[in-house]
Homo-oligomer: A and B are copies of this chain.
Amino acid sequence: MTKIKIGIIGAGRIGKIHADNLLRHPNVELVAVSDLFAGPELEAWAAARGIGILTKDSSELIRNPLIDAVFICSSTDTHVPLIRQAAEAGKHIFCEKPISMSIDETEKALEAVKQAGVKLQIGFNRRFDHNFKRVREHVAGGAIGEPHIVKITSRDPSPPPRDYIKVSGGLFMDMAIHDFDMARFVSGSEVTEVYAQGGVLVDPVFAEYDDVDTAIITLKFASGALGVIDNSRKAAYGYDQRVEVFGSKGSVSIANDHPSTAVVSTESGIVSDKPLHFFLERYMQAYADEVQHFVDSLVSGAPPAIDGEDGLQAERIALAAKLSYKLNRAVKLSELNELRREPAAK
């Protein structure tokens, strides 16, 4: 079988994870990596992995006729132009979330993908996690009947640095976007309305950027089900990623994964391991599996299970959450077009 030739744009933390998963893949050849900050360090990294091309110029990579598909792992503001460029060059695309922070821009990117007839997969890696997948399977298989309440807990072990906060797009767009996708995934229903409450309880730096670090987000689904997400930028005990779907026949819930099942019982209590520390530990296998899925999709010709529409919908929910928080009232997704045209509410 001819190997699929892939290029990666953006060799930050997540780009490197994808690189290593692609390198381990028997049917893939990772031919090129581009990064604005390519220098001696990245050169050593690429050399150790036998990656032939390292460039600062993503266009060069996209124009390379050998390359079948690109992974867009650069900063969010570059996603839309890169998707459009790659689509026009006939490359299949794996793009990190979110596609953009503007619904209009995202729609333009999706239009370009559609016109070019290339595949686009969005990096909602959690859908590939063994636990979340199992929840979806139980819900889809009818084990809990009709979903009534979807509950998602999503808390990071520690807040990102100030520089990241500044450009993150805010908790709703940057962090909760994974949870919005998860809500759609496990419930199998579209979100129609959002109410978001938030606070700055972890670190005052978030207030400086008009952001929150703690949030409770209520969702209403087209099916009539309700949902709630709670987010925090800092869980002292580590990465906390749980979900429960409660329905007419019962509930399915998942707990965190842990480094071991060891329980130590002494005079001072019964102590078990903290959860796997953060997303790299928790989702290591999920990252490999999403790459596998993308490659399978290219090989089989079947559309990827997580496409541009999924990216768009999660962004729409995130935008509604931002607006809801500002307006302190529930916001219907159907209102978005109208609200987007008005000057931002106080």
Residue ranges of A at the interface with B (Cβ–Cβ < 8 Å): 24, 130-131, 133-135, 138, 143-146, 148-149, 151, 155, 195, 197-199, 201-202, 214-216, 218, 220, 224-228, 230, 232, 234-237, 240, 246, 248-257, 259-267, 269-274, 328-330
Does A236 contact B270, Cβ atoms closer than 8 Å?
no
Does A254 contact B263, Cβ atoms closer than 8 Å?
yes
Residues of the B chain whose Cβ atoms lie less than 8 Å from the Cβ of A143: 264, 266
A–B pairs, 27, beta carbons within 8 Å:
A134-B260, A134-B273, A138-B264, A146-B201, A148-B201, A148-B214, A149-B214, A149-B216, A195-B195, A195-B330, A199-B225, A199-B226, A201-B225, A201-B248, A214-B226, A226-B230, A235-B250, A235-B251, A236-B266, A237-B250, A240-B251, A250-B264, A252-B265, A253-B263, A254-B261, A254-B262, A270-B272
Q: Known contacts A260-B131, A262-B131, A266-B143: does B226 contact A250 (CB below 8 Å)?
A: no
Copies of this chain assembled into the complex = 4
A276 CA to B276 CA in the complex, in Å?
19
A272 to chain B, nearest CB (A): 5
Does B252 contact A264, Cβ atoms closer than 8 Å?
yes
A154 to chain B, nearest CB (A): 12
- Please give 13 more A-B residue pairs, beta carbons under 8 A apart, in addition to A197-B218, A251-B265: A131-B261, A134-B260, A134-B273, A145-B236, A148-B201, A197-B220, A201-B224, A216-B228, A232-B246, A236-B250, A249-B266, A269-B271, A270-B272
Does A265 contact B261, Cβ atoms closer than 8 Å?
no
